[in-house]
Amino acid sequence: MRTILIEDEPFLLHMMERFIYEEPAFDWMGSFSDPMEALDYLNTQEIDLIFLDIEMPQINGIELAKRLPAQTQVVFTTAHRHYAVEAFELHATHYLLKPITSQMIRDLVPRVTSRYEATHRTKPTRSCTIQCFDHFSVTTSNGEFIKWPTQKTEELFAYMLFHQNQVMNKWLIAEALYPNIDDPQRALHNVYNLVYRLKKTLTEYQMDASVQTMNNGYSLHLDTCRCDYYEWLAATDKPFPISEVNTRLFVDKDYSWH
């Protein structure tokens, strides 16, 4: 399992590095004392398991965990028991109380291995139908409408649809979806949350579509899902001219970026 460690206490960081490096089940990819640096790394790399301190400067481990893909396992590390409820509400794999020992890490291996194997088994997926012209809707193969957790999550999906198969830089997404936020870092943090919610929604509906992270950006892949906008792009004999596209795309939504 590709594993990283996020811990702002230098002594504990180096000690846990040794414990993790010596455990054959873990493929140690690196350590971070700065949580924001870790977030930047996680936006370009797919990681299976994170040992994550809760009390850190800039952003605590609970908030950081909310921005991770649903399939990424989190083992929280902290000196305080009162975080346990919040940790398990986020479906954390486990919760380790400091001081952490090598035996605690070894005892954890069966739990994280079992969850890793369950996550990576082939899961059933459902096709979907996406209508972008005249009104915007997404339905599964059995006719169920997708219920988005927030309007901005739906807008991110639409934005990525509009930029077909392109890798959209995270800063461009922040500028497009949050034009009224003056603080770039705050807008970027909102984007991280949106991407997490979008990935989680696609997983919950078992949609045959995926968001991939690469080169400080994101791209959307529909696989077997049908999209009327993509069909229009691919058609030789188009049912209506290009001059009508922008006036018919997402007309029931107040999107400023198309």
pLDDT digits (tens, 9 = 90+) for 138-152: 999 888 999 999 999
Residues 85 and 135 in one domain: no
Instruction: Tell me how far the alpha carbon of residue 195 is from its chain's centroid.
Output: 5
Residues 142 and 95 in one domain: no
pLDDT for res 117: 81
pLDDT for res 210: 85
- Report the helix count and the strand count for the chain, using DSSP H and E: 10, 11
pLDDT for res 83: 65
- Residues of the chain with confidence (pLDDT) below 50: none
Q: What is the CATH number of the domain that holds 241?
A: 1.10.10.10
Token pair, residue 28, equals 């140690």
Q: What is the CATH number of the domain that holds 54?
A: 3.40.50.2300
Look at residue 107 and tell me if it is in a domain: yes
Find the domain containing 64 and state its range: 2-119
pLDDT for res 85: 60
The domain boundary residue, chosen from 102, 119, 136: 119
The number of C-alpha atoms within 13 Å of 174 and in the hemisphere containing its C-beta is 18
Q: Where are the beta strands (DSSP E) in the chain?
A: 2-6, 27-32, 49-53, 73-78, 94-97, 128-131, 137-140, 168-169, 210-214, 217-221, 226-227
pLDDT for res 124: 64
Residues 97 and 143 in one domain: no
Residues 109 and 88 in one domain: yes
